[in-house]
Amino acid sequence: MEEMKNLNTTLKYKTTSSVWISLNRGNTGRWLWSLADGDLYREGSKYRNWYSGQPKTSPNSGSYIFINSLVKWREAQSYCRVNYTDLVSVRNQTENGWVRTSVHNYDEKYFWIGLFNDSWQWSDQSYSSFRYWASTQPDDTGGSQNCTAVSMTEGDAGGSWFNENCDSELPFVCREDQLVLVNLTLTWKDALRYCREHHVDLVSVHSGEVQSGVMEVAQKASTAHVWLGLRHTCTLSFWFWVSGFSLCYQNWAPGNGTGGEDCGSGERSGAGQPWVSLPETQTLNFICSNY
């Protein structure tokens, strides 16, 4: 707090509304302070002074990313699928509010979401009967307005939806799921490599909240268990999360995680649900994290 006061004194006569500090959330997904060389990051002080509502995260283990580029709906869909998860789906009034919040700092008045007219379904194939059409919508003027945009104009401050020609060029909102089930059957080491190349890491289940999310995501797995970022060291005889989280919260199946692991066939790794100890060479689906 003393350093925060000194910083505020330094900025007393600044002419800009914001200045950079060295706190950065890189590939680890954690907020870290930069070292002098600019390439490495450290945890350092745990002190944070976030403004109310910051850092921006979603309570439903997902993130909403506003892309301020003018493109057609199909181009927006492709961009979101390559770089995130998909164009955003809005399944209730709460999520509608989160989407509006993601664009409130921008001047754009209309933006794409994932709803399109094939009996009005969502881009990610999820089901939701929730709609937030403006009172005159959908009107399908000219018979070609098959995509959905949200209006943030003065008269539609609530973020009402309009059907729009899919070739119109608008900014858009992507959704990035924090937990991603990968329906490939890989060894634990290959799963770890995949997650680190395509996401952040194999998931670490460090709380009951994360465990609930993992259980929900794992329902669509094609294998009985899914790899987690849980690893056993035969040399030191203990379990740990590869992300660095401590193993405080636990959800072991009976007879697993006792520490007396059979290392005769190599290292053991953890899978769920609940957690079980398996040989690292077994092939399973796995869950990556974008935290």
pLDDT tier at 53 (50, 70, 90 boundaries)?
A: low
Q: Is the pLDDT of residue 166 over 90?
A: no
Q: Is the pLDDT of residue 156 over 60?
A: no
Find out whether 174 and 71 touch, Cβ atoms under 8 Å: no
Domains of the chain: 2-42 (no CATH), 62-177 (3.10.100.10), 179-256+266-289 (3.10.100.10)
Alpha-carbon distance values, 59 to 52, 64, 108, 136, 183 (Å): 15, 11, 25, 32, 25
**Which pLDDT score, from 0 to 100, does residue 143 have?**
67
How far apart (Å, rounded) are the C-alpha atoms in residues 214 and 14? 46
Summarize pLDDT for 279-291 with one digit per residue, the tens.
889 999 999 987 7
Q: What is the mean pLDDT of the chain?
A: 78
Long-range contacts of 234-242 (CB under 8 A, 24+ apart): 234/261, 234/263, 234/267, 234/268, 237/261, 239/270, 241/204, 241/205, 241/206, 242/192, 242/201, 242/202, 242/204
Q: Is the pLDDT of residue 242 over 50?
A: yes
Q: Is the pLDDT of residue 123 over 80?
A: no
**Which pLDDT score, from 0 to 100, does residue 105 have?**
67
Stretch among 5-19, 24-38, 64-78, 166-180 having the lowest mean pLDDT: 24-38
Summarize pLDDT for 141-155 with one digit per residue, the tens.
666 777 888 887 745
Q: Which residue has the higher pLDDT, 221 or 273?
A: 221
How far apart (Å, rounded) are the C-alpha atoms in residues 157 and 249? 43
Mean pLDDT value across residues 106-130: 73
Summarize pLDDT for 68-90 with one digit per residue, the tens.
888 888 888 888 887 777 888 88
Find out whether 126 and 91 touch, Cβ atoms under 8 Å: yes
Long-range contacts of 72-78 (CB under 8 A, 24+ apart): 72/166, 72/167, 72/168, 72/169, 73/112, 73/116, 73/147, 73/164, 73/166, 73/167, 73/168, 73/170, 73/172, 74/166, 76/112, 76/170, 76/172, 77/114, 77/123
pLDDT tier at 193 (50, 70, 90 boundaries)?
A: very high
Q: Which residue has the higher pLDDT, 5 or 129?
A: 5
**Which pLDDT score, from 0 to 100, does residue 164 have?**
85
Mean pLDDT value across residues 152-166: 71
Mean pLDDT value across residues 270-277: 87
**Which pLDDT score, from 0 to 100, does residue 116 have?**
78
**Which pLDDT score, from 0 to 100, does residue 51 have?**
66
Find out whether 139 and 163 touch, Cβ atoms under 8 Å: yes
